[in-house]
Structure 1
Amino acid sequence: APRALRAVGIAAIIAPSFARIFYRNALNLGLPLFQAELSADVADGADATIDRSSGVLTVGGYARQLPPPPLWLRQVWDEGGVIAYYLNHGRLPLGEAR
């Protein structure tokens, strides 16, 4: 499903939750996912802008702070996915220490 969404021009997805397999496939392809409940704030199909670094979502002049993604995740997105990151850096991205 993430591959088809990218193929039709979807640049990012915001949803209340994601199935684990969908999340992993999107990560592998470099498709940004943001987890947030927006049903009362944004109409389906509305044009939006997301600052991927800060997590700020702007829709028609309305701005909302989404949880900002960690640096390693933004790096994977910027490279176009996990495989592209690995091919460009010779290693997998390291997540933040827990």
Structure 2
Amino acid sequence: MKFEGRAHKFGNDVNTDYIISGKYKFKTLDMKELARHVMEDLDPDFYRKVSPGDFIVAGTNFGCGSSREQAPLAIKYAGVSAVLAKSFARIFYRNAINTGLPAVECDTDQIDPGDELSVDLAAGVITNRTKNAVIPVKPLPAVMIRILNDGGLAAHFKKHGGFNFD
């Protein structure tokens, strides 16, 4: 899997209420509507600035808080191709993979807001084209790559009739 886009950088401990505020996630299940409000408590203009393929870049413990799957889904529907962070809250991490949103663990110190990035999950590298730097990523297990390639866990089940990792 390869992605290209710009970095939108946030800090540490970005919880799921910052990703999508509770004032929205209890009013609708329409992911396109929720996507319009992604990250707005941290950056009110995020939805207007993000372009399809861009990345959310963060520090440690991204996605902490509640375990609602609306957070990674809303990010995905906003057009973000992957979230790059030093670490993830485990439930968010699994929900992201299960919904088809790559959650990539890497050192994000060499990435600044607006940097042009190329992410190659198969090669296990991020290329920061703005700074001409190569950043290794923590490899995703083959099972997670397969789920992501299929579009998420539900799509994987539909395609294979259950778990199929041969």
Question: What's the TM-score, normalizing by structure 1?
Answer: 0.83
Q: Which runs of 4+ in 1 moved over 3 A?
A: none
How do 1:7-86 and structure 2 match up within 5 A? 7-39=77-109, 41-60=110-129, 61-86=132-157
Question: 2:163 and 2:107 mapped to 1: Cα distance?
Answer: 31
Question: 1:45 and 1:6 mapped to 2: Cα distance?
Answer: 19
Q: Aligned Cα RMSD in Å?
A: 1.5
Matched residues, percent identical?
34
Structure 2 unaligned blocks of 5 or more: 1-70
One-letter code aligned to 1:62: A
**Conserved? CA contact 1:6–1:31, under 8 Å:** yes
**Conserved? CA contact 1:76–1:93, under 8 Å:** no
Question: 1:45 and 1:31 mapped to 2: Cα distance?
Answer: 21
**Conserved? CA contact 1:48–1:57, under 8 Å:** yes
**Conserved? CA contact 2:107–2:135, under 8 Å:** no
DSSP-derived class of the 1:57 partner = strand
Question: What's the TM-score, normalizing by structure 2?
Answer: 0.52
DSSP-derived class of the 1:48 partner = strand
Does 1:6 find its partner at 2:43?
A: no
